[in-house]
Amino acid sequence: MNLLYLCMDALVVYPENKEQLAAVKAVMKAMKISFEQKSEIYPDHVIDGVKESLQQANQGQLKPFTGIKDMLNLA
C-alpha cells in the first residue's frame, strides 16, 4: 500500500506597517496561496504583568532563576 505524505510548512510574517501587510496579502492572493490573518490580543493582566516585569528589570530588581529549589525556598 502506497501512502502519500504531504508536508506543508507554515510561515509567520511580521509586517512593520499597514503598507507591508497590504503588499504581503496582495502577493499571497496573486499567487493563490491561502492564508489566515490573526491578531494577537492579550488580556490586560498579561500586558500589566509584562510592563511590571520590564520596569523591575530596568530598576535591577529581578533575581536570576537558579533552580526550582531556590524558587521554592528549599535550598
Give me the percent of the chain exceeding a pLDDT of 70: 89
**Total number of residues shown for the chain:** 75
Torsion sign across C-alpha atoms 55, 61, 65, 69? negative
pLDDT tens string 40-52 = 778 889 989 999 9
SS3 content of the chain, % helix, strand, coil (to 5): 45, 0, 55
pLDDT tens string 14-29 = 889 999 999 999 999 9
pTM score above 0.85: no
At residue 6, does pLDDT exceed 80? no
